[in-house]
Chains A and B, each alone.
Chain A
Amino acid sequence: MKLYQSMRMALKSISSSKVRAFLTMLGIIIGVSSVIILVSVGQGTTSQITEQLNGLGTNQLTVNITGRGATTSLTYKEALALGDIEGVENVAPVITGNVTAKHDTDNVSVSVEGITPSYEDVKDFHVQAGRFLLDIDTEYRQKVALIGSGTAEDLFGTDSPVGQKMQLNGISYKIVGLLETKGSSLGGSNDDKILIPISTAERQLQSKGVRSITVATTTADTVTTVKDKLERLLNVKFNNADNAFTVFDSQEMLETVNSTTDTLSMALAGIAGISLFVGGIGIMNIMIVSVNERTREIGIRKAIGAKKFDILAQFMIESIVLSGLGGFIGVGIGVGGSWLLGKYSPLTVSIAWNMVVISFIFSLLIGVIFGMMPANKAARLRPIHALRNE
């Protein structure tokens, strides 16, 4: 009852000087909205990276060979031999290159991967129409190809590409399958590429040997042990040369990325937190001014029977309403700004609802903490001194 009255009085005194109230709240508004936007952008980026890394598969290792001296690659057989390591389920050696793909008058520069049939299981990448490559294609260097959905659209529009012909650097290939649409992952688009048998690719790309091998382990838990064994084996092969190869582990990468983005998010939130704190000082400042200006009012209220608590509550509520209102506006700007950023900028934004709640509560707390001193000052004024003040 009394609290409701104090609330009304606080709102009245705030609304009687709107510009001042707004300027006072500005610090809180900027603080809260920047906390929300910064953390939302940080979370969005993290989840995007996580998604991409998970798209690479959690039980996979990617071996990249840069080689040493004359040995710059593994032979196809050596690559397949990696499949004998304990804990390895499957191996997909890949040769990569770029070609110009042509159909009728349309042509497009696209990346080509020479693969084995095991690619389908290891990369979990299937066809949506037609068939996948078979062992027999590899064995007889068949000029057959699988086409990514993006490239298919570029070359064939809405027509079905399966069964059609196209030229890769002038050499005619028959398209036997259309790959499913996968979107992008770390390392580029999965849909703008052409897959051909690895043996065919060696000739097409005039490249001997395998430089990239994706290794699938039996379970996600064995990734680390398999990685150790792979590295030992390859070290023997390349005589312990530095930088002859890298073994990329998406899980490890994920942890690194997460810890980096977490640190970054904390730092950003910290900076925004400081601006909230500064906003709190602004509130305290204006509350002290307000108490000084209204000394006489306090005296009158005390003379006609306001207790210490009544005055304390009045000024505390005023300060909490100021900071709470500022927090509320800040939440609005923060959520709205995050949404706009997500919609109209290349950034991936995932609105941090936990931060919305935390920063709003934090802004209320700031009102309590920074209102305490001025309100207490008001409550302790002696009525005769306050009344004498003109």
Chain B
Amino acid sequence: MEEKKSNGMSRRDTIKALATLPVLGYFGYAYNANLLKIEEAKAQDYLERLKIDKIEVSEEKLSPPTGNSGNRIRFGVVGNGWRGEQLLKSLGYVHPDYVEDSSENGIPDKGMQKFLDQEDLNVEFAAVCDTFEVHTRRGVEISANDLRPFGKKRDPKPAKVFSSYKEMIASDDIDAIIIATADHTHAQIAIEAAKAGKHIYLEKPMTHSIEEAVELRKVIKDTGVVFQLGHQNRQQMSFKIANELYEKGVFGDVSMVQVYTNRNTDFGAWIRDDAFDHKLGNKDNINWEEFLGNVPLCEFDRKKYFSWQRYSEFGTSITGNDLSHQFECMNQVLKLGIPETVVALGGQYYYKHHGDMPDVFNAVFNYPERGLTMTYDGNLKNDAYRPSRILGSAGTVDVDRAILMYKDSHSDRYKDIILDPSDPFYYYAPDDDVDAISSATSQVYMKGGYGPTTIDGKTVEATLLHLKEWVDAIRGQGKPSCDIEAGFEEAVTFNLANLAYEHKKVVTWDKVNEKAIIG
């Protein structure tokens, strides 16, 4: 019989009563140890995690304005369509209609306020040339509008109208030219402009053919004019950071690059029948011959004129329209250059009533010297968003305006870092105050690569930065980032894919003779 204590409890009772209490102690210990480990992983500096010292481009500053009263640049616009007007806005010119639509009772809306606050590049919209009278007239109205960034201009001088780009190039009224015409005229206008000593901002894609790209590059180099190709994503901070991370080995060996076009609308398929001004176009107000340029004369066709992208004699197919963007971004990040061989398949299966553009298109670009391939899936009948993806031995990286990197579970570089493979390893998004590893619930930020970018703590339109870079370079400050060499790589790459599609054969790039070899 056990001895009972005064309170009626034996020692055995006490032990049994308290027997499970040590579990609580162990719980506390395990909880703490686990928490510390998790917190430690979270708090780990992302640079340390990426095993780099710093990301230099994040510290990039906006370059100061270069304009002064003595170096105003007069520019002419050839092709004042929707893209032409976007470029004009970045250059500080908007249509009076826009001003009216963007303010209520004299109070500017957000977009308008941004326009008013944007940097004045100290340029003058001096001349306009368009094959469509409505566009020409709008150009003049834009130039005469006195609402400019940082207050009103006193004497807006209407832009001079030229009926042909040749006359505009030959005139002394402009120092520089902005070309935003149909693709088939890019090379001829740019070549003639360079020969006349005009600096060139050329909308993408660079040229309609490889031969044109070879010729244009030669002329640009010979004449020394400042040339910028209109891939404004050169200014996107995400691509700059991705490039630095890649060069510092953060992605490991890159074996595959995947780029996409994901669209599912008529407009997305470059069918422009319903654009606001296209109903106004007819044989009498469209200069069809000037539009045709080097294309053999044929009957006026409004469909062809407004949806020219879809006709191979004018446009450059889904590849020139969109792959060129995706490739250019990846070329910026990875310095891909020109592929050695290209195959492409697909067809025009859905939008059969306009032109000959394929709407389902796959291409593979092989870079044996780099040990990688790039694949392109272009789909105009499905808009599931797929960002460009870089597959590296150390991780998988989605890049558009943002960067989302997942560590590879067999990565040597990061084998010491314990992380759930489904957790983002590195995350960058513009508009966020810092680059940081976040839970990345915000994939939504990733969508759309063409908007504003973040630099120097400010949010700036990428197109404005791209034009500024060109304008500054004309004034001798810095140089354009999408120069003729980058443009050459872009033009050759997508044109190789077009040749492969057209001939249903493997196309090889003969880099010595700078020619495509078909079959």
Are A and B physically bound partners? no
**Chain B: residues with CB nearer than 8 A to chain A?**
none
